[in-house]
Amino acid sequence: MSKIAIIWDVDGVIVDSPHEEAWRATARKDPWNVEVTTDFYLKYVASRPRYEGGNNILSLLGVYDKLGAKTEEERRKILEKFCTQKNNMIVELIDKGEFKLFKDAIAVVLKARKMNIPQAAASASKNANRMLKKIDKERVLREMREEINDLANILEGKTLYDIFDVNACGLDLGNKKNIQKYAADKLQENFGDIDIFVVVEDAPSGIKAAKELGFYAVGIHRIGSREELIEAGADIVLDDLRKFPLEKPPF
């Protein structure tokens, strides 16, 4: 049997953060006054670093032009203000624990940990770790008691942040390598002889990145178009991650 390791996106896969809503609510305010639809968010903001996603909103929806930004410096200042407003909003929501757990992902993360499968958290979001550190045994039992059984004991004295062998969330890697490649390299360094990297993603851009690296891509269909995950190259698209056979993976 091939030795596998799993690389998890966080926002949209393990948790449903207020990330999309924070972007949308901020964009609706003065002086931005634009609407960020779910389709736009998935195509141009999801799974992208904060400033890249913010810049896509401001440029593609015409905010820079509307505000008369003619120079790169003017655009930079506008982008900084916009992203700061959005981040202040989402941090407040996360600190209050106002985000949803995707139960199927939590169950698989803990099951993989019990099976000693190496795992990495790899998200462009700089708030991913803030959320992972808010998920402890108490919260998992409160929301998943009937289905989690003894797996919750893995979190005794820990948070979900501690479960991952490698953390590559919110890193600024520049253009040298993407976060998935960084996570894979670290897993290989720590465990060696990994034959197959399985990437779990909800966004087409994340699926494409995984396939460009030659990884096995699991698309989790949460919202948006299932077909876009398939077109991006997903090896399998699931509505529930618990259907992925860890004991006998399909490769």
Taking the domains of the chain in order of start, what are their residue ranges?
Answer: 4-16+99-243, 19-95
pLDDT for residue 1 is more than 70: no
From residue 54, how far is each of 181, 204, 205 by CA, in Å?
24, 18, 16
Predicted confidence (pLDDT) per residue in 201-248, tens digit: 999 999 999 999 999 999 999 987 899 999 999 999 999 999 999 998
Could you report the per-residue pLDDT of 140-168, keeping only the tens digit for each?
Answer: 999 997 677 789 999 999 999 999 999 99
Q: Which pTM does this prediction carry?
A: 0.80
- CATH code given to domain 4-16+99-243: 3.40.50.1000
pLDDT (average), residues 90-102: 90
> What's the pLDDT at 40?
95
Higher confidence at residue 176 or residue 235?
235
Q: Which fold has domain 19-95?
A: DNA polymerase; domain 1 (1.10.150)
Q: Give the DSSP per-residue string, 35-67.
A: ---HHHHHHHTTTS-HHHHHHHHHHHTTHHHHT
Q: What is the pLDDT of residue 106?
A: 97
pLDDT reported for residue 174: 66
CA pseudo-torsion sign 108, 110, 111, 116:
positive
47 vs 241, residue with greater confidence: 241
Q: Matching CATH topology for 4-16+99-243 and 19-95? A: no
Helix (H, G, I), strand (E, B) or coil at 195: coil
Q: Is 60 exceeded by the pLDDT of residue 176? A: no
For position 175, what pLDDT does the model report? 54
Average of per-residue pLDDT across 159-188: 89
